[in-house]
Structure 1
């Protein structure tokens, strides 16, 4: 499944996150299924799915910083 969002550009500068092409299981599968439904209906919705792993003391600040980076990029640019 493809997204219209330029993921490489979106995560450029991020240190604690990475692009994954595996939606995993549980809630992730449901979200991806809804995205597929939108695609089948030919609705033009630009979206990404961000899986946030269990946060620990060690990972919290890096993931938080990268999440803010991504949110800012999505909010401020239509080219991502």
Structure 2
């Protein structure tokens, strides 16, 4: 069985979420970003920029990032951000 696409379900797949986040980050930072790159250790993302990511996630994916979900570890890599979106979306 193949993974359905957003066009088929109306819901972005994990791969589509990851791809969108990579495109967004690369456009904003003007740097290549891999899914497992530590965004904070690399200096590409600050805590203020992480808040911009929160707004992006809430608007684009219809999730609410609040309380314990606002910790930096959830935003350390694109993989972790994608996992956060999936967890919040499925909750």
TM-score (norm 1): 0.27
User: Which one has more relative contact order, counting CA pairs under 8 Å at least 6 apart?
Assistant: 1
Larger radius of gyration: 1
